[in-house]
Amino acid sequence: MTEFGYTAMCEQTPVKQLVSDLAEAEAAGFDFSVMSDHYFPWIEEQGHSGYAWSVLGAAAHATERLPLMTFVTCPTMRYHPAVVAQKAATMGVLSDGRFSLGIGSGENLNEHVIGLGWPARQVRHEMLSEALDIIARLFTGKYVNYRGKHFSVARAKLYDIPDKPPPIYVAGSGPASLRLAAEKGDGMISVEPLRELVQAFDKAAGPGKPKFGQLPISYDSDEDAARERARRLWRWGVAGWKVNAELPDPEAFEACSATVTEDDVCSVVSCGPDVATHVEAVRAYVDAGYTHVALVGVGADKQGEFISWASKELLPALRGLC
């Protein structure tokens, strides 16, 4: 049975509101939640990018049952994997086991800030593979020494760890990353409703592991307003992952998306007041084989309305799919 989650999007939402939105999402009946982990917003108009791990700590105390998850953290540049392991273990304790670690190879947008450039894709996959090994070893609570091609760990040990290590879900979009997710992760993450991605992962990992997808929704009682908001705040998403992983800052995304139209955006964002329209957009993920679909409400000032509408109309309709 597919589960439907709420996305706390740090790039568009003030940090205190992220916490209150998650509490509202729990009360509204969402099955789980995910949170982006960015240094920058995608475009200047989004206007926010608080530190996700501080917000997650607050959210662990503001909620009681809602599963929490990063979507996704890059454990290779801004953060050393040993530090990510410590953060994730701490979140596992704070949340009483409700935290999952979603990780991926990252974007230039967020990782270039430490001044070490942006590695080629193959190098990023090598780094992610080593990071997964380090994190898994540290989750055992034992001393860890590690020397790889990209990372070293010298006698590190975690003291505050949950009874059960947080599951690790790995973002994948192609053969190499999907193999890595299958070999070293507990499940996969993707943002495309493509059956072939899910099938490739299941073939490599075996059936039964979770598959997380994500879908942006611009809800409004006025369809024109929903479309305008989607174009204004989500035009960066039209170019696709191969472009989005490489651009260095919001100004570059502004330039790249300057000529994107409302129709272009509405090809990737489900827009308007009609529940059936959004159900069909989610159905693509369900039919592709995703076990979890995280929904993004476009626009920070619309979150309360989005959550209330989802509780009363969208979530009941989506559960009819399963």
Q: List the structure tokens of 146.
A: 């590690």
Distances in whole angstroms, Cα of residue 82 to Cα of each of 28, 75, 86, 256: 36, 8, 6, 35
The rounded distance, in Å, linking the Cα atoms of 159 and 139 is 10
Question: What are the residues whose beta carbons fall under 8 Å from the beta carbon of 170, sequence distance 6 or more?
Answer: 102, 103, 104, 128, 132, 177, 180, 181, 184, 185, 187, 188, 189
User: What does the pLDDT look like over 124-171, one tens digit per residue?
Assistant: 999 999 999 999 999 999 999 999 999 999 999 999 999 999 999 999
167, 173, 177, 178 alpha-carbon torsion, rounded to 10°? 70
**In the predicted model, is pLDDT for residue 241 greater than 80?**
yes
User: Catalytic pick from 11, 26, 38, 278?
Assistant: 38
3-state SS class at 203: helix
- Give 174 or 212, the one with higher predicted confidence: 212
**Is 254 considered catalytic here?**
no
User: Catalytic pick from 11, 24, 26, 107?
Assistant: 107
| 68 close to 56: Cβ distance less than 8 angstroms | yes
Q: How far is CA 260 from the centre of its chain?
A: 24
**In the predicted model, is pLDDT for residue 322 greater than 90?**
no
Question: What's the whole-number average pLDDT of the chain?
Answer: 97
Three-class SS string for 105-154?
CCCHHHHHHHCCCCCCHHHHHHHHHHHHHHHHHHCCCCCEEEECCCCEEE
Q: Give the pLDDT confidence score for residue 44 in this predicted structure.
A: 97
Q: What is the mean pLDDT of residues 287-311?
A: 98
User: Residue for token digits 């072939």?
Assistant: 196
Could you tell me what percent of the chain has a pLDDT over 90? 97
**Is 112 considered catalytic here?**
no
pLDDT band for position 320 (cuts 50, 70, 90):
confident
The rounded distance, in Å, linking the Cα atoms of 139 and 164 is 9
Q: What is the mean pLDDT of residues 62-72?
A: 98
Q: List the structure tokens of 129.
A: 């593979």
Give the residue from 277, 253, 228 showing the smallest Cα distance to 38.
Answer: 253
Q: Give the pLDDT confidence score for residue 305 in this predicted structure.
A: 98
Q: Give the pLDDT confidence score for residue 207 in this predicted structure.
A: 87
**In the predicted model, is pLDDT for residue 321 greater than 90?**
no
Name the H helices within the chain: 15-28, 52-62, 81-94, 108-111, 121-138, 175-184, 195-205, 223-234, 241-244, 250-256, 262-266, 275-288, 303-309, 315-319
The rounded distance, in Å, linking the Cα atoms of 105 and 174 is 12
Distances in whole angstroms, Cα of residue 24 to Cα of each of 151, 266, 277: 40, 27, 24
User: What does the pLDDT look like over 189-213, one tens digit per residue?
Assistant: 999 999 999 999 999 999 899 999 9
| Burial grade of 104 (CB within 10 A; 0-12, 13-18, 19 or more) | buried
